[in-house]
Homo-oligomer: A and B are copies of this chain.
Amino acid sequence: MPLSAETLRDLHRRMLRIRLFEEEAGRLSEAGRIPGALHLYVGEEAVAAGVAAHLGPGDQVTSTHRGHGHLVAVGGDFRQMFAELFGRATGYCRGKGGSMHIADMDLGMLGANGIVGGGPPIAVGAAFSNKYRKTQNVTACFFGDGASNEGSFHEAANMAGLYRLPLIFVCENNGFGEFTRQDRHQAIRDIADRAAGYGFPGIVVDGMDAVAVYEAAGEAIARARRGEGPTLLECKTYRFFDHVGVRGMGVVYRSDDEVRAWRERDPITLLERRLAELGILDEAGAAAVREAIQAEVREAVAFAEASPFPDPAALTEDVYAS
């Protein structure tokens, strides 16, 4: 069944929101205006968008160190996001988390995570909770190819399979764990193959094709909501920027040709081309969407920069709930 124009536009908008948020964050980081480390999602937008388009109230997402993309995809607020990256009191985490711990509990975005493999066990807990509370909610657990080698992923996958939890494991296989290419961190090609070891299906999808991700994620999530258990969805993708920040440190671990080849399959360009072909969105239309988001970005950055830093008194607050 072909996707509706509305769905396609929604996917496009989610992706573009991620892209423009990220590009701006990258610029600000390079300019030294955002402190700390920034792991950018640019290039991988189809994955977050294609999955998030199926999520709604009560669903959850566990994320990674590369978490802005996931938060934007589920509807994260640019103002609070930029404010958080800037370490301001108005940020999502009152400035305490920063890029690596950005979260929106109300949206079910249970946090970016500085620990590779930190998310999957938490996703198991959230999915267990959905089932326990007899909701129809699902949890989407994003993780990387590198993370697939952490013991925590294995334990979580086994548990999710055993309890048939409403959970989808979304592997963002961008071909690298930091600077180590996949063939130097595991002896397999398709991480989806690991699913068989946990008793649930594993599916490989083109992570640069938002429609393909959307469709595969839709099936997996529907399956989860029906109580049929988890799916491992491996999305082959690529990050356009460096592991941290935009430009690298000058150590060559992948070729310019390789980057160029992947950029030619830019997921946003691919989708825009498709939208144009289908007559859903022409160049002018796309430019208008872009401009609207761009304006939102500008406004959010201004808000963030005008926001106060947290008061030193906040330092020891929020350690315990009361």
Contact = CB atoms under 8 A, between A and B. Distances in A.
Interface in A147-186: 149-155, 158, 161-162, 164, 184-186
A200 B197 CA distance: 13
Nearest to A154: B154
SS class, residues of chain A in contact with chain B: helix
Contact of A197 (B162, B197, B229): B197
Interface string A130-159: 000000000000000000011111110010
B199 A196 contact: no
Contacts of A152: 151
Interface stretch (A187-195, A215-223, A278-286, A302-310): A187-195
Give the copy number: 2
Contacts of A155: 149-151, 154
A185 B162 contact: yes
Interface size grouping (class) on chain A: 20 to 34
A198 interface: yes
B186 A193 contact: no
Nearest to A161: B187
Contacts of A199: 186-188
A57 to B, nearest CB: 29
A169 to B, nearest CB: 13
A105 to B, nearest CB: 27
A196 B164 CA distance: 22
Contacts of A186: 158, 161-162, 198-199
Nearest to A159: B149
Interface of A: 149-155, 158, 161-162, 164, 184-188, 193-194, 196-200, 229
19 contacts: A149-B158, A150-B151, A151-B155, A154-B154, A154-B155, A158-B186, A158-B187, A161-B187, A162-B185, A162-B187, A186-B199, A187-B198, A188-B196, A188-B197, A188-B198, A188-B199, A193-B197, A194-B197, A196-B197
Given A149-B155, A193-B196, 10 more contacts: A149-B154, A150-B155, A151-B151, A154-B155, A161-B187, A161-B188, A162-B186, A186-B199, A188-B197, A196-B197
